[in-house]
Amino acid sequence: MSDAETRIVVVGASLAGLRGAESLRRSGFTGHLTIVGAEPHRPYDRPPLSKGVLTGEVGADATALPNLVDLDADWRFGTPATRLDRARRTVTVETGEALPYDRLLIATGASARTWPDAAQGRFAGVHTLRGRDDADALRRDLAAGPKHVLVIGGGFIGCDVAASCRTLDLPVTLVETGPTLLAGVLGAHLGAVVEALHAHRGVTIRSGTKVVALEDDGTGRVVRARLADGTAIPADVVVVALGAVRNTGWLSGSGLSFDAGGLDCDADGDALDEDGRPDPRIVAAGDVARFPHPLYPGKPIALEHWGHAVAQGVRAGRRLAGLPEAPYAEVPAFWSSQGGITIKSVGLTAGADGLVIARGDPKEGRFLAVYGREGRCIAAVAFDCARWLPAYAERIAARAPFPPEPGGVDAGPMRVLPPAFPEPADEDAA
């Protein structure tokens, strides 16, 4: 079959799906390209959804991503994929139409984990935040001037939402089961630094406790939350920010290996079947792909980072276009803005057994921490000092010894501290 007759379907009109499709065309693919999206929107950027969109500074519809290449694609919006038939090589969408493929890119991403009690989760005023429409709905409720906002979960989304509430001058309480905010990803040592920033901006923080129930006013509108110690806190808007589950349910019956933690892939990014054999026609990228990372041997990982969706999407496009590709080995990286401080990270902190403040000083609000495991550098986190970070990314890629050698300009004493991750390690910390 000539390339011009080849049919490629991208499932997921997402950042990974869009950059993957662009990469296909840039790699010379001239065949039929179909892009299937569950939502009625063109691919959009998620980072503003928990920040500028909530404060009204950025319109939800202004988050559409730039499309960098003429894709000449058949876009199918608002039609979630419902079934994958690998024998017939078709993807069925919600309308019942079966789209034939020769090669497939799976980039269906993840969904917000919902409140465990479904009836309580449906109370008016209770939100999750993942997509554009979620952000718009939450923005409207915040703009109405609620008396008490409650955020459940002190990960990045929960912290962003609480910060946006303070920008809007709304009273907000953040409840986190761990010892500090962001303890799952940074450990409690640096989590305490972040927590102080939010407390300073007026967020009421309840760490080390748990919301056990949401209660309504009798008409289905949330009015308060019950905590594990029996006390209640008032809440007319509740944001459930308990992490994400991967969008893999539509793969039921496909014979591929998946669960709520991702679709399993090999080091090349090819999807694995239930017997662990790669399907050479199917590649996955972005949040949904769980793959072995050469820098982090052991458990395969599924990363929710923006840069990862771009890099793995681009690589997937090249592979589907038939170009030779080395196994994916990008050093993971993310950024976040917390209480006016820009936090940037390279590597993965999970499993770290030591931490050093390698440059600067947390008391000054500007510092760089290096995380180590078994004598090797595995991650570095910069607070308002992004320009120091690339040098540490190189050390992580090179598996350089930990702790780093002392004596550099602005370098601290390299005293090894416990990172203080909560037990058990947070599965979603990556």
Partner 1 sequence: MSDRPDPSAPRLAAPSPDAPSPDARRSAGGLRVSVDLNLCQAYAQCCYAAPDHFVLRGREALHYDPAPSASVRGDIERARIACPVQAIRVEDAGAARR
Q: Which stretch binds partner 1 (CB under 8 A): 111-119, 280-288, 332-340, 409-417?
A: 332-340
Query: Pick from 27, 30, 92, 167: which binds partner 1 (CB under 8 A)?
Result: 167
Closest separation between CB of residue 218 and partner 1, Å?
35
Closest separation between CB of residue 366 and partner 1, Å?
7
Phi, psi torsion values for 250, nearest 5 degrees: -70, -10
For residues 332 and 308, is the Cβ–Cβ distance under 8 A? yes
Query: Pick from 335, 403, 420, 428: which binds partner 1 (CB under 8 A)?
Result: 335
For residues 368 and 358, is the Cβ–Cβ distance under 8 A? yes
Q: Work out whether 362 is an interface residue with partner 1 (CB under 8 A).
A: no
Beta-bridge partners for 380: 346, 370
Mask: binding to partner 1, 300-329, rule CB under 8 A, as x and -? ------xx--x-------------------
The set of residues, in sequence order, having a beta carbon less than 8 Å from that of 124 and lying 6+ positions away, is 220, 221, 222
Q: Which stretch binds partner 1 (CB under 8 A): 159-167, 215-223, 268-276, 413-421?
A: 159-167
Please spell the DSSP secondary structure of 148-199, one letter per residue: -EEEE--SHHHHHHHHHHHHTT--EEEEESSSSTTHHHHHHHHHHHHHHHHH
Q: Work out whether 75 is an interface residue with partner 1 (CB under 8 A).
A: yes
Q: Work out whether 14 is an interface residue with partner 1 (CB under 8 A).
A: no
What is the signed CA dihedral for 283, 287, 289, 294, rounded to 10 degrees? 110
Q: Work out whether 363 is an interface residue with partner 1 (CB under 8 A).
A: no
Query: Pick from 26, 201, 281, 376: which binds partner 1 (CB under 8 A)?
Result: 201
Q: Work out whether 78 is an interface residue with partner 1 (CB under 8 A).
A: no
Q: Work out whether 410 is an interface residue with partner 1 (CB under 8 A).
A: no
Q: Work out whether 137 is an interface residue with partner 1 (CB under 8 A).
A: no
What's the first-to-final CA gap in the chain, in angstroms? Answer: 41
Nearer to partner 1, 58 or 227 (CB): 58
Q: Work out whether 197 is an interface residue with partner 1 (CB under 8 A).
A: yes
User: Please, how many CA atoms are within 13 Å of residue 90, restricted to the half-sphere of its CB?
Assistant: 9
Taking every pair of Cα atoms in the chain, the longest distance, rounded to a whole number of angstroms, is 68
Please spell the DSSP secondary structure of 240-309, one letter per residue: E---EEES-GGGTTS-B-EETTEEEB-TT-EEEBTTS-EEEEEEE-GGGEEB--TTS-SS-B----HHHH
Rounded CA-CA distance 199/35 in Å is 44
Query: Pick from 50, 63, 180, 312: which binds partner 1 (CB under 8 A)?
Result: 63
Closest separation between CB of residue 59 and partner 1, Å?
4
Nearer to partner 1, 195 or 264 (CB): 195
Nearer to partner 1, 247 or 336 (CB): 336
Nearer to partner 1, 13 or 263 (CB): 13
Q: Which stretch binds partner 1 (CB under 8 A): 88-96, 97-105, 117-125, 194-202?
A: 194-202
- Which amino acid, residue 93? V
Nearer to partner 1, 197 or 288 (CB): 197
Structure tokens belonging to residue 82: 């419902």
Q: What's 132's DSSP letter?
A: H
Interface contacts to partner 1, rule CB under 8 A:
45, 47-48, 52, 56-59, 61-73, 75, 163, 166-167, 197, 200-201, 306-307, 310, 333-335, 337, 339-342, 344, 365-366, 384-387
